[in-house]
Structure 1
């Protein structure tokens, strides 16, 4: 009985080694998606659908609104599968378009292609 008391530590919590790793909760690193797509785009798509649903009394306009909503949401989900933060990245890149044009400069050096040499 004395030997077991001597080996117990003063605190009741088990000691952990420094190499113990705990998984990070998925809510901290997984992007916030609504119905599988980015929140802002789903909201804009839903507002467009509601405008067509409430604002236009024609049945054909309501069906067109439903078709636009479903097709738009399908496209947004496909884009979110490729990159779940594509819209935010695009919005963040807009102010830098003048500084980083999407084409090479006219004064850029032409690309050189190494000459192919057969090893035969």
Structure 2
């Protein structure tokens, strides 16, 4: 009775949604672009370009997912809030000029 209550947290609830080792949305978009290049191919060169494009971009996405599985979402949030984080923050720096909410 001295032991505290334990609640199991399943790994599938915390795991990021990855496909083929990369972020889901980015992998699906590169698949779509590579398929568009390959299926609209009028020559073997375009087919090879589509396959090479897929391989190069997918290896980049794999490396990106190894470092941070949610890197694109973090980057999108960074761009969204860029105005709120001035580059040169300090004790004597000017506050950033931000539009007020609901004017």
**Moved runs in structure 1, 4+ residues, more than 6 A?**
none
**How many aligned positions are there?**
92
Question: Structure 1 residue 17: deviation in Å?
Answer: 6.4
Q: How does 1:1-120 map to 2 (within 5 A)?
A: 19-101=4-86, 103-104=87-88, 108=93
Query: Which structure is larger by alpha-carbon Rg, 1 or 2?
Result: 1
Secondary structure, aligned partner of 2:13: helix
Q: TM-score normalised to the size of structure 2?
A: 0.76
Question: 1 CA distance for matches of 2:48 and 2:2?
Answer: 62
Question: 2 CA distance for matches of 1:79 and 1:38?
Answer: 9
Question: Structure 1 residue 90: deviation in Å?
Answer: 0.9
Question: Structure 1 residue 83: deviation in Å?
Answer: 0.4
Runs (5+) with no aligned partner, structure 1: 1-15, 109-120
